[in-house]
Amino acid sequence: MLRRRDSAAMAGQARRHIVFVAFPDVQVLDVTGPLEVFGRAARLLVERGLRRDLAYSVEIVGPTAGPIETSSGMAIVAKRGFRDVRNNVDTLLVAGGRGSRRAAQDPALRAWLARMAPRVRRLGSVCTGTFILAAAGLLDGKRATTHWAYCETLAKTYPRVCIESDPIFVRDGRVYTSAGVTAGMDLALALVEEDFGRHVALGVARQLVMFLQRPGGQSQFSSQLAIQTATANLCVSWWNGSPIISMAICRCRHWRNASR
């Protein structure tokens, strides 16, 4: 239960503007997942009478204003080009996806991120968006993570970054990086908890059917998925090579032909 003093503090806080950086071939869930967490938190605070206005405003920016085709083929719309964003940003997050390595080579984006970093309260990335922050020199000497499949590549490409391959997300000062794809929602939920407390974050987690704190790290997914894949391949091999299955198929064919 929230204390009256905490409720008054929430009501008095200024609206926080969340800006997400996207680019061609971005992973759509890297963007929409976390933004839905912030949006749902803002609505929940109003519904519970803790605020009269929305606590968060959200915005997608891209290389230019307009549609951005994601890696799934679906388009999302950037309200502004990133060059047009100069201030009034609370939290700046960079998405990942197939296009992240190409985006990391964009000198204009790297320079803009370097200029914006001191102006925002929080800076972060989702999935392989970590490569973009690293390319801008914003992770030098800091702990960071990314999708488990790319941790080794990140470490080799940017040796000044201290890679932690297991956590779902890592905070180093005011810089946050998350593991792959849906881990961005875990990071967003943690930021909501940081802003408005565990009670609000738990309410958002329940509405979105999420863990408030996911059990275990991301290494469990790489190892378990590998085991599941190996098991599936073994089952397919057994099925294809089993004399019992072959005999059953032959009998079914014989029965089908005889019944015609």
Per-residue pLDDT of the chain (260 residues; tens, 9 = 90+): 555 545 555 666 899 999 999 999 999 999 999 999 999 999 999 999 999 999 999 999 999 999 999 999 999 999 999 999 999 999 999 999 999 999 999 999 999 999 999 999 999 999 999 999 999 999 999 999 999 999 999 999 999 999 999 899 999 999 999 998 899 999 999 999 999 999 999 999 999 998 777 666 776 555 444 444 444 443 344 445 545 544 444 454 444 444 45
Tell me what pLDDT residue 15 has: 95
Tell me what pLDDT residue 216 has: 63
Residue 260 three-state SS: coil
| All structural domains of the chain with their residue ranges | 4-207, 219-258
Name the DSSP class of 148.
Answer: G
Task: Indicate the length of the chain as a whole number.
Answer: 260
Residue 136 three-state SS: coil
Tell me what pLDDT residue 212 has: 73
Provide the whole-model pTM.
0.82
Tell me what pLDDT residue 221 has: 54
Tell me what pLDDT residue 214 has: 67
- The secondary structure of 187-245 as a DSSP string is HHHHHHHHHH-HHHHHHHHHHTT--SS-SS-THHHHHHHHHHHHHHHHHHHHHHH-HHH
Q: Report the distance separating Cα 128 and Cα 109, nearest Å.
A: 15
Tell me what pLDDT residue 219 has: 63
b/e 27-63 (16+ beta carbons within 10 angstroms → b): bbbbbbbbbbbbbbbbbbbeeeebbeebbbbbebbbb
Residues with Cβ within 8 Å of 2's Cβ and at least 6 positions away in sequence, in order, are 10, 50, 197, 199
Beta strands in the chain (DSSP E): 16-21, 56-62, 66-69, 75-78, 80-81, 91-94, 122-125, 143-144, 162-163, 169-172, 175-178
Residue 28 three-state SS: helix
Tell me what pLDDT residue 248 has: 47
Catalytic residues: 127
What CATH number labels 4-207? Answer: 3.40.50.880
